[in-house]
Amino acid sequence: MTTTTTDSAALRSQLVDRLVAEGFLHEPRWQQAFLDIPREAFVDKFTVHDPATGRHTHYDLNVDTATPLAAVYDNVSLLTQLDEGGTATSSSTTPSLMALMLERLDVHPGHRVLEIGTGTGYNAALLCHELGDHSVTSIDIDPSLVEQARTRLAEVGYGPRLVVGDGALGEPSAAPYDRIIATCGLPRVPATWLDQVRPGGIILVNLGFALARLTVSDDGTASGRFTDYAAFMRLRTDINDTAPTVRDIIETANQDGTASRSLWPAVLEERPVQCLHAIVHPHVRRVVVHGDDGDMYALVDPVSSSWARARLDDSGNAVVVHGGPRNPWTGLVELADWWDNAGHPEPTRFGLTISPDGRHVLWLDQADATVMTLPT
């Protein structure tokens, strides 16, 4: 079967209908952008991961067009680059998350936007469709990704300003911006970004497993709420950065260390607890191993060279072994207990205020109700 433009247009229409029906896409202008821009123009070879089975399926539009094209327009992330350990380092984000973020960004013609994480260039194309090339700057650490995106954007008629560099530093030469949108996950919002946004401008960024929408004030602070669950690949500040694999995390946590016992909170697996933990302790990597003898939590913090593993014993307590200067299990348990005692607040009740010196203050319901100052 030869795939035609008509096939792509029909699949785009079906995707838009789905995003509208599921509540991710409301505004006609963004509906039109998704209808007009072919996603396959930005991805020819890609991998789809099935979290339920762990299976990876590889597609190549250069070999077969029909089956991969249908996969392109499924509402899933398309993995487009893997490091040596098999960990994805670039992708085309789930369309529903793209749509949600574009609408949360509240961007309009005349606004200037900095995108952190060019990736395939598809999201930059959607921005250009609404704002025009001259209003969009996009930065990525990987020169090959930037050049590939530049070529593919040109092929569909767009020419935004693309820059090779460390997204954590922003792009000061084109500042100030009205909006910064980060299509990558970060542990903290860089203070440099606050300097590059006009007062009243918006920063939209993924922290942990949540999306934060922050408004920059005249005094240089940025404040706002977490609006949605979201998770992106982490920002790379070095092209040679590699993330620890699941095997690495388990092997590290299985070392000999200091043994202790602790409570095992009943709310440990609640999604808001996982979300809050990822916001407060963003460097801790967590793997849960399900076995015949029960579950094992493996927690590794590469930044502090700390690790822990915990198993539930017959009495309902945790048997913990840990090593390094701090015990990552303790941080998880303390947050779970706090969340339980606070009445199980959803992530959207939390907000964040960031000062020009980079201090992050987490609050609940209102900005003066401080929960904690986040560790750096």
* 317-344: burial string, b at 16+ Cβ within 10 Å, e else: ebbbbbbbebbbbebbbebbebbeeeee
Question: Is the alpha carbon torsion for 137, 130, 5, 9 positive or negative?
Answer: positive
Q: In whole angstroms, what is the distance from residue 122 CA to residue 38 CA? A: 9
Which value, in Å, is the radius of gyration of the alpha carbons in the chain? Answer: 22
Q: In whole angstroms, what is the distance from residue 6 CA to residue 243 CA? A: 40
Residue 315, class by beta-carbon neighbours within 10 Å (0-12 exposed, 13-18 middle, 19+ buried)?
Answer: exposed
From the candidates 90, 91, 92, 306, give the one annotated as an active-site residue: 90
Question: What are the backbone dihedrals phi and psi of residue 139, each rounded to the nearest 5 degrees, phi first?
Answer: -130, 145
Give Cα 240 to chain centroid, integer Å.
19
* 18-53: burial string, b at 16+ Cβ within 10 Å, e else: bbeeeebbeeeebbebbeebbbbbbbbebbbbeeee
| Residue 21, both tokens | 């029906």
- Whether the ω angle into residue 190 lies within 30 degrees of 0, i.e. cis, is no
In 10 A of CB 283, how many CB atoms? 15
Q: In whole angstroms, what is the distance from residue 316 CA to residue 363 CA? A: 32
Question: What are the backbone dihedrals phi and psi of residue 168, each rounded to the nearest 5 degrees, phi first?
Answer: -65, -20
Q: What is the DSSP string of 92-121?
A: E--HHHHHHHHHHHT--TT--EEEE--TTS
Q: What is the DSSP string of 241-283?
A: --PPPHHHHHHHHTS--EEEEEE--TTTT-HHHHHHHHHHSTT
90 included as an active-site residue: yes
Which active-site residues does the annotation give? Answer: 90
